[in-house]
């Protein structure tokens, strides 16, 4: 036994290795990405790890492996499960042989996501057990329980940490125990082929299993009652830690039911808790899943217990929890005036939204499209997508008019074009997102003869989530080299008639290429290739020759590079610590005042 | 021993490493520790906060308002943005070198550095100001502000560990090739010349 400072995601990864995981697949997504990366780093020689092309693919690869008896883990963020929901729903009916855990990280806040969806609903919807760890330490041990339960009931199990569990670091007791399980082999059997008759029979089975698992969860060590009193608090996830902290500060007497498994709901345990209480407050992040389960239980057993939570206005319906939100809920539960908010007036603070890094080639891509359209006096709508390049929405670029979900830029541009062809419709998509779910959109556009321009911003990595490899990078998560899948050839294979590559950092050529693509009638694609700045070290930096700078502010106003600011005299200044020498500012400066300095 | 330390800065300044070093050093001294970080979209030049809680286990990962013993402000505006987490009597260690957001350069919002520093100087029970840009220049790298800040914190006895404790954690966590630079940075922080406590003489 050793103690180590581990991030929640690292703890989950080591817990999965401890549980003897054989095959790990996933698609990067904050806050889940470090789980798979950590397994890749510490895996045994027999463990296989891959970044799959998307979450649906990842889940299907893992399901195949689980049919043989191998222990498998699939990792994704909450919106990734939307993509993987098709195989998941069917797999719930078919079941698996080897333990299969689907790790889906929810993102209350949301900190880095499109939605605040609650994966516990998905577990209910799909009839799958779900674990909801309340700390990194608990997550380390609970992931093993999840594998064991999965194997026992031949069902995939969802493991749902939230951002504050994934990205918190804690001192964790780890051991080098590894669970052994029988070797894997696929045995042919009609049970692996989904048919309506089989689904009917299995529907009955999974509902019966839900009953059994509910009973098992009622006695599970991870679900506990502590404390006494007529009043009770039921909590799960990170809210448990805040609840304990607040209760130790307020000295309120309350019984606490801490739940780490929310579906199938541990009814027996919850019933025992409710019977001793008159009033109960539910503290959970995202949707009122536990609250509704308790209300249902009160109705079923006609218990005279009042349940408070999100549905009664005692807790926030959106956003993440912290000490203050939990404190406010508990104060309200005890009908206390909250501590007066000491509103202080701070001096004005600058807003600081996230921006494209200095030197980011996406800035040049957006800017060249903007300039090309200006030159041609062509109005356009810009359909964005998910990745660093969503940040092209910020001033002064202002180049993202829509953004919905992975891969939706190309397809939404087609709908926009059908309904409003008075302007040009231009979609932006990154390389990893293109492989994830952009290709079907391209095929649809070609097949249905749409008139759109697609700008692929290929920076040779999955940048936003931490620079994971993908099919276009020629590297795998096992550390091997593999043949790159060429985006250009994929496009050609899809019958795209206009495909041109350009380096976005060569501004004049880039503008000319975009102009030509926009003028093309039909599906045209510009493939902008330039690596993410995180992939190389700059050889050159830019410097303003102050005597030449006229203070026209064009560099600042046009490209919005975070390395450029204005000095006291109103002249441009470049922060050499941030500059990557991309030269976009040099090409924009009308006074030729920005030169390069070698390092 | 209990310590809540909040680190506020801009994505890319290295608050995550600094908070990990603090937590790991605490653990090497047998104090329980936990941290919480901003990871994801905000890392791209946005506001980031790291939180370190040492000496307790029954607590959430983030620090309640007015309960931070120590505020390590990697950037003045970000220090002020999180100022209400500092407890009454808490100590602020502030880098006075601002990072102007693009919004400020575009003229869309104000960045009044003097008002920001003056507010912190007046409101913090104790505030220590360092010129991060100068110290980084001395170290020869703009990327070592985090380790310089740790050096200053050690010198000012703001942490429940010694210089040797912190250096040991750095050695354990940094790749060999960055070790010499970071040792130098720590030493520059540890021996920095005081330029006015609670004052702005170095602004």
Nearest chain B residue to A562 by CA: give it: B102
Compare CB distances from B108 to A30, A31, A395 and report the shortest one's residue.
A395
Strand partners, A170: A6, B34
Share of chain A above pLDDT 90, in %: 94
The whole-chain average pLDDT of chain B stands at 91
Arithmetic mean of pLDDT, A397-405 = 97
Please judge whether B41 and A355 are an interchain contact, meaning their C-beta atoms are less than 8 angstroms apart.
Answer: no
Arithmetic mean of pLDDT, A403-412 = 98
At B199, the pLDDT band (50, 70, 90 cuts) reads very low
Nearest to A46 by CA among A213, A192, A183: A183
- Residue A440 lies in domain: 361-535
Q: What is the DSSP letter of A438?
A: I
Please judge whether A241 and B59 are an interchain contact, meaning their C-beta atoms are less than 8 angstroms apart.
Answer: yes
- B15 touching A (Cβ < 8 Å): no
Query: Mind telling me how many Å the CA of B120 is from chain A's nearest CA?
Result: 10
Give A415's contacts (C-beta < 8 A, 6+ positions apart): none
The whole-chain average pLDDT of chain A stands at 96
In a domain, B202, yes or no: no
pLDDT tens for each residue of A377-397: 999 999 999 999 999 999 999
Arithmetic mean of pLDDT, A464-491 = 96
Between B192 and A246, the higher pLDDT residue: A246
Please judge whether B59 and A353 are an interchain contact, meaning their C-beta atoms are less than 8 angstroms apart.
Answer: no
In a domain, A356, yes or no: no
* pLDDT of res. A1: 74
- B174 touching A (Cβ < 8 Å): no
At B58, the pLDDT band (50, 70, 90 cuts) reads confident
In a domain, B143, yes or no: yes
- In chain A, the number of structural domains is 4
Please judge whether B60 and A351 are an interchain contact, meaning their C-beta atoms are less than 8 angstroms apart.
Answer: no
* pLDDT of res. B195: 59
Is A551 in contact with A390 (CB distance < 8 Å)? no
The answer to which of A158-162, A349-353, A515-519 has the lowest mean pLDDT is A349-353
3-state secondary structure chain B: CCEEEEEEEECCCCHHHHHHHHHHHHHHCCCCEEEECCCCHHHCCCEEEEEEEECCCCCCCCCCCCCEEEEEECCHHHHHHCHHHEEEEEEEEEECCCCCCHHHHCCCCCCCHHHHHHHHHHHCCEEEEECHHHHHHHHCCHHHHHHHHHHHHHHCCCCCCCHHHHHHHHHHHCCHHHHHHHHHHHHHHHCCCCCCECCCCCC
Do A549 and A518 lie in a common domain? no
- In angstroms, rounded to a whole number, what is the distance separating the alpha carbons of residues A142 and A258? 14
Query: Mind telling me how many Å the CA of A579 is from chain B's nearest CA?
Result: 12
Nearest chain B residue to A353 by CA: give it: B46
Q: Which two tokens stand for residue A202?
A: 């299995």
Arithmetic mean of pLDDT, A442-453 = 98
Q: Give the other-Cβ count within 10 Å of B57's Cβ.
A: 14
Nearest chain B residue to A395 by CA: give it: B103
Please judge whether B109 and A348 are an interchain contact, meaning their C-beta atoms are less than 8 angstroms apart.
Answer: yes
Q: Tell whether pTM > 0.90.
A: yes
Q: Which two tokens stand for residue A201?
A: 């029979």
- In angstroms, rounded to a whole number, what is the distance separating the alpha carbons of residues A112 and A399? 20
Nearest chain A residue to B115 by CA: give it: A347
CATH code, domain with A76 = 3.40.50.970
- In angstroms, rounded to a whole number, what is the distance separating the alpha carbons of residues A137 and A245? 17
Is A459 in contact with A472 (CB distance < 8 Å)? no
pLDDT tens for each residue of B145-155: 999 999 999 99
In a domain, A341, yes or no: no
Do A207 and A86 lie in a common domain? yes
Q: What are phi and psi of A574, to 5 degrees?
A: -110, 125
Query: Mind telling me how many Å the CA of B54 is from chain A's nearest CA?
Result: 10
- Residue B182 lies in domain: 3-190
Is A99 in contact with A147 (CB distance < 8 Å)? yes
Q: What is the DSSP letter of A393?
A: G
pLDDT tens for each residue of B4-52: 999 999 998 999 999 999 999 999 999 999 999 877 776 778 999 999 9
pLDDT score of B197 more than 70: no
Q: At what angle do helices B145-155 and B132-139 cross, to 10 degrees?
A: 110
Compare CB distances from B62 to A322, A395, A562 and report the shortest one's residue.
A322
Please judge whether A346 and B110 are an interchain contact, meaning their C-beta atoms are less than 8 angstroms apart.
Answer: no
- In angstroms, rounded to a whole number, what is the distance separating the alpha carbons of residues B71 and B52? 10
In A392-448, where do the E strands start and end? 424-430
DSSP letter string over A240-296?
Answer: HHHHHHHHHHH----EEEEESEEES--HHHHHHHHHT-SEEEEE-SSS-HHHHHHHH
Do A13 and A140 lie in a common domain? yes
Arithmetic mean of pLDDT, A4-16 = 97
Do A18 and A166 lie in a common domain? yes
Question: Side-chain half-sphere of A44: how many Cα atoms within 13 Å?
Answer: 16
Helix (H) or strand (E) holding B52: strand B47-54
- In angstroms, rounded to a whole number, what is the distance separating the alpha carbons of residues A40 and A124? 31
Chain B residues in contact with A171 (beta carbon < 8 A):
23, 27, 32-34
pLDDT tens for each residue of A57-95: 999 999 999 999 999 999 999 999 999 999 999 999 999
Chain A residues in contact with B11 (beta carbon < 8 A):
354
- In chain B, the number of structural domains is 1
Is B63 in contact with B78 (CB distance < 8 Å)? no
In a domain, A343, yes or no: no
Do A159 and A280 lie in a common domain? no
Please judge whether A112 and B42 are an interchain contact, meaning their C-beta atoms are less than 8 angstroms apart.
Answer: yes
Query: Mind telling me how many Å the CA of B78 is from chain A's nearest CA?
Result: 9
Compare CB distances from B24 to A5, A322, A564 and report the shortest one's residue.
A5
Please state, in angstroms and as integers, the Cα–Cα distance from residue B178 to each residue in B144, B146, B147, B181, B185, following that order. Answer: 10, 13, 12, 6, 11
Please judge whether B34 and A167 are an interchain contact, meaning their C-beta atoms are less than 8 angstroms apart.
Answer: no
Query: Mind telling me how many Å the CA of B141 is from chain A's nearest CA?
Result: 8
Q: How large is the greatest C-alpha to C-alpha distance in chain A, in angstroms?
A: 83
Please judge whether B36 and A245 are an interchain contact, meaning their C-beta atoms are less than 8 angstroms apart.
Answer: no
pLDDT tens for each residue of A267-281: 999 999 999 999 999
pLDDT tens for each residue of B66-94: 999 999 999 999 999 999 999 999 999 99
- B196 touching A (Cβ < 8 Å): no
Q: Give the other-Cβ count within 10 Å of A109's Cβ.
A: 17
In a domain, A448, yes or no: yes
- B177 touching A (Cβ < 8 Å): no
* pLDDT of res. A31: 96
- B106 touching A (Cβ < 8 Å): yes
Compare CB distances from B32 to A171, A242, A322 and report the shortest one's residue.
A171
Q: What are phi and psi of A307, to 5 degrees?
A: -110, 125
* pLDDT of res. B198: 56
Give A599's contacts (C-beta < 8 A, 6+ positions apart): A538, A539, A540, A541
Please judge whether A353 and B46 are an interchain contact, meaning their C-beta atoms are less than 8 angstroms apart.
Answer: yes
The CA-based angle B75-B79-B81, given to 5 degrees, is 120
Q: Which two tokens stand for residue A426?
A: 């231009």
Question: Side-chain half-sphere of A489: how many Cα atoms within 13 Å?
Answer: 5
The CA-based angle A598-A577-B131, given to 5 degrees, is 135
Q: What are phi and psi of A190, to 5 degrees?
A: -60, -20
Please judge whether B142 and A577 are an interchain contact, meaning their C-beta atoms are less than 8 angstroms apart.
Answer: yes
φ/ψ bin of A551: left (φ > 0), alpha (ψ from -120 to 50), beta (otherwise):
left
- In angstroms, rounded to a whole number, what is the distance separating the alpha carbons of residues A373 and A395? 17
- In angstroms, rounded to a whole number, what is the distance separating the alpha carbons of residues A71 and A157? 12
Nearest chain A residue to B105 by CA: give it: A565
- Report the Cα–Cα distance between both ends of chain B, in Å, rounded: 34
Is A579 in contact with A359 (CB distance < 8 Å)? yes
pLDDT score of A114 more than 70: yes
DSSP letter string over A318-357?
Answer: SS---HHHHHHHHHHHTTPPPPPP----PPP-------PP
Domain boundary among A176, A198, A218: A218
In a domain, A327, yes or no: yes
Arithmetic mean of pLDDT, A313-340 = 93
- In angstroms, rounded to a whole number, what is the distance separating the alpha carbons of residues A590 and A205? 73
Please judge whether A167 and B36 are an interchain contact, meaning their C-beta atoms are less than 8 angstroms apart.
Answer: yes
The CA-based angle B173-B174-B180, given to 5 degrees, is 135
CATH code, domain with A582 = 3.30.70.20
Query: Mind telling me how many Å the CA of A290 is from chain B's nearest CA?
Result: 20
Q: Which two tokens stand for residue A296?
A: 């249902």
CA dihedral A426, A432, A434, A440 (to 10 degrees): -150
φ/ψ bin of A583: left (φ > 0), alpha (ψ from -120 to 50), beta (otherwise):
left
* pLDDT of res. B194: 67
Q: What is the DSSP letter of A437?
A: I
Please judge whether B103 and A323 are an interchain contact, meaning their C-beta atoms are less than 8 angstroms apart.
Answer: no
Do A54 and A175 lie in a common domain? yes
In a domain, B181, yes or no: yes
Please judge whether B37 and A344 are an interchain contact, meaning their C-beta atoms are less than 8 angstroms apart.
Answer: no
pLDDT tens for each residue of A116-171: 999 999 999 999 999 999 999 999 999 999 999 999 999 999 999 999 999 999 99
Do A372 and A262 lie in a common domain? no
Q: What are phi and psi of A406, to 5 degrees?
A: -55, 125
Please judge whether A350 and B34 are an interchain contact, meaning their C-beta atoms are less than 8 angstroms apart.
Answer: no
CATH code, domain with B162 = 3.40.920.10
What sign for the dihedral angle of Cα A354, A355, A357, A362?
positive
Block residue for tokens 């300095």: A597
User: CB pairs below 8 Å between A and B: how many?
Assistant: 165
- In angstroms, rounded to a whole number, what is the distance separating the alpha carbons of residues A139 and A164? 12
Please judge whether A355 and B45 are an interchain contact, meaning their C-beta atoms are less than 8 angstroms apart.
Answer: yes
Do A44 and A190 lie in a common domain? yes
* pLDDT of res. B202: 38
Do A20 and A151 lie in a common domain? yes
In a domain, B201, yes or no: no
Do A303 and A329 lie in a common domain? yes
- B29 touching A (Cβ < 8 Å): no
Q: Which two tokens stand for residue A83?
A: 């993509």
In a domain, A348, yes or no: no
Between A352 and A182, the higher pLDDT residue: A352
Give A574's contacts (C-beta < 8 A, 6+ positions apart): A541, A542, A543, A544, A563, A564, A585, A594
Cis peptide before A400 (omega within 30 of 0): no
Compare CB distances from B60 to A238, A348, A355 and report the shortest one's residue.
A238
Q: Is A537 helix (H, G, I), strand (E, B) or coil?
A: coil
- In angstroms, rounded to a whole number, what is the distance separating the alpha carbons of residues A294 and A307? 7
Cis peptide before A31 (omega within 30 of 0): yes
Helix (H) or strand (E) holding B186: helix B176-190
In a domain, B60, yes or no: yes
- In angstroms, rounded to a whole number, what is the distance separating the alpha carbons of residues A499 and A525? 5
Chain B residues in contact with A5 (beta carbon < 8 A):
20, 23-24, 27, 33, 35
Do A320 and A393 lie in a common domain? no
Query: How many residues appear in chain B?
Result: 203
Please judge whether B115 and A348 are an interchain contact, meaning their C-beta atoms are less than 8 angstroms apart.
Answer: yes
Mutate to test the interface with B, among A4, A10, A352 (most CBs of B within 10 A): A352
Nearest chain B residue to A165 by CA: give it: B61
Nearest to B99 by CA among A395, A577, A362: A577
In a domain, A457, yes or no: yes
Chain B residues in contact with A245 (beta carbon < 8 A):
58-60, 64
Do A416 and A565 lie in a common domain? no
In a domain, A103, yes or no: yes
Domain boundary among A282, A314, A333: A333
* pLDDT of res. B139: 96
Query: Mind telling me how many Å the CA of B174 is from chain A's nearest CA?
Result: 15
């Amino acid at each position: 036994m050793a103690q180590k400072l581990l991030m929640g995601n690292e703890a989950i990864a080591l817990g999965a290795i401890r549980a003897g995981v054989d095959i790990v697949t996933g698609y990067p997504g904050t806050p889940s990405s470090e789980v798979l990366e950590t397994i890749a780093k510490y895996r045994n020689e027999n463990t296989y790890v891959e970044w799959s092309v998307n979450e649906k693919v990842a889940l299907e690869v893992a399901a195949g492996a689980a049919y043989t008896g191998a222990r498998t883990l699939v990792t994704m963020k909450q919106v990734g499960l939307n993509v993987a929901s098709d195989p998941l729903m069917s797999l719930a009916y078919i079941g698996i042989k080897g333990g299969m855990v689907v790790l889906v990280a929810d993102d209350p806040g949301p900190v880095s996501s499109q939605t605040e969806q609650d994966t516990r609903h998905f577990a209910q919807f799909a009839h799958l057990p779900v674990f909801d760890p309340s700390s990194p330490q608990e997550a380390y041990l609970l992931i093993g329980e999840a594998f064991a339960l999965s194997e026992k009931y031949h069902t995939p199990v969802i493991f749902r940490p939230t951002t504050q569990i994934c990205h918190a670091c804690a001192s964790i007791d780890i051991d080098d125990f590894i669970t052994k399980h029988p070797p894997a082999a696929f045995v042919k059997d009609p049970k692996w082929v989904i048919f309506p008759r089989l689904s009917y029979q299995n529907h009955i089975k999974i509902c019966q299993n839900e009953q059994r698992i509910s009973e098992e969860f009622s006695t599970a060590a991870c679900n506990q009652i502590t404390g006494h009193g007529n009043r009770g608090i039921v909590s799960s996830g990170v809210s448990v830690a805040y609840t304990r902290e607040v209760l130790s500060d307020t000295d309120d007497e309350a019984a606490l039911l801490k739940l780490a498994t929310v579906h199938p709901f541990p009814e027996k345990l919850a019933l025992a808790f409710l019977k001793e209480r008159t009033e109960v407050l539910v503290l959970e992040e995202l949707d009122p899943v536990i609250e509704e389960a308790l209300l249902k239980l009160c109705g079923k057993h006609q218990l005279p217990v009042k349940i408070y939570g999100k549905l009664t206005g005692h807790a926030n319906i959106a956003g993440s929890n912290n000490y203050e939100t939990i404190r406010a809920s508990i104060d309200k539960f005890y009908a206390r005036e909250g501590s007066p908010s000491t509103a202080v007036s701070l001096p004005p603070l600058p807003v600081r939204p996230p921006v494209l890094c200095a030197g980011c080639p996406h800035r040049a891509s957006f800017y060249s499209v903007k300039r090309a359209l200006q030159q041609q006096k062509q109005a356009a709508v810009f359909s964005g997508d998910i990745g660093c390049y969503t940040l092209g929405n910020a001033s002064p670029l202002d180049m993202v008019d829509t953004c919905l979900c992975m891969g939706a830029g190309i397809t939404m541009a087609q709908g926009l074009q059908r309904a409003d062809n008075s302007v040009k419709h231009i979609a932006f998509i990154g390389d990893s997102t293109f492989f994830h779910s952009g290709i079907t959109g391209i095929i649809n556009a070609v097949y249905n003869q749409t008139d759109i321009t697609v700008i692929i911003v290929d920076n040779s990595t999955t940048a936003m989530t931490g620079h994971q490899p993908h099919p276009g990078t020629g590297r795998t998560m096992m550390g091997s080299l593999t043949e790159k899948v060429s985006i250009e050839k994929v496009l050609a294979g899809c019958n795209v008639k206009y495909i041109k590559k350009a380096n976005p950092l060569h501004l004049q050529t880039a503008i000319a290429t975009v102009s030509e693509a926009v003028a093309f009638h039909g599906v045209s694609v510009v493939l902008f290739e330039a690596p993410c700045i995180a992939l190389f070290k700059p050889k050159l930096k830019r410097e303003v020759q102050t005597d030449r700078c006229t203070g026209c502010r064009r560099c600042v106003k046009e490209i919005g590079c975070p390395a450029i600011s204005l000095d006291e005299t109103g002249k441009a200044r470049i922060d050499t610590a941030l500059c990557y020498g991309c030269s976009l500012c040099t090409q924009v400066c009308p006074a030729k005042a920005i030169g390069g300095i070698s390092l | 021993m209990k310590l809540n330390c909040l680190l506020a800065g801009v994505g890319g300044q290295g608050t995550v490493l600094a908070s990990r070093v603090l937590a790991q050093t605490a653990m090497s001294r047998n104090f329980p520790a936990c941290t919480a970080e901003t990871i994801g979209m905000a890392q791209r030049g946005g506001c980031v906060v790291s939180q370190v809680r040492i000496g307790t286990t029954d607590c959430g990962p983030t620090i309640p308002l007015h309960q931070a013993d120590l505020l390590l402000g990697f950037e003045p505006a970000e220090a002020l943005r999180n100022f209400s987490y500092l407890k009454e009597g808490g100590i602020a260690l502030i880098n006075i070198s601002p990072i102007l957001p693009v919004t400020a350069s575009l003229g869309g919002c104000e960045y009044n550095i003097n008002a920001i520093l003056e507010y912190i100087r007046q409101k913090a029970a104790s505030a220590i100001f360092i010129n991060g840009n100068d110290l980084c220049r001395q170290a020869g790298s703009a990327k070592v502000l985090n380790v310089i800040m740790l050096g200053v914190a050690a010198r000012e006895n703001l942490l429940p560990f010694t210089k040797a404790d912190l250096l040991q954690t750095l050695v354990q966590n940094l790749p060999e090739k960055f070790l010499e630079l970071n040792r130098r940075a720590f030493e520059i922080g540890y021996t920095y010349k005081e330029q006015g406590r609670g004052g702005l003489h170095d602004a």
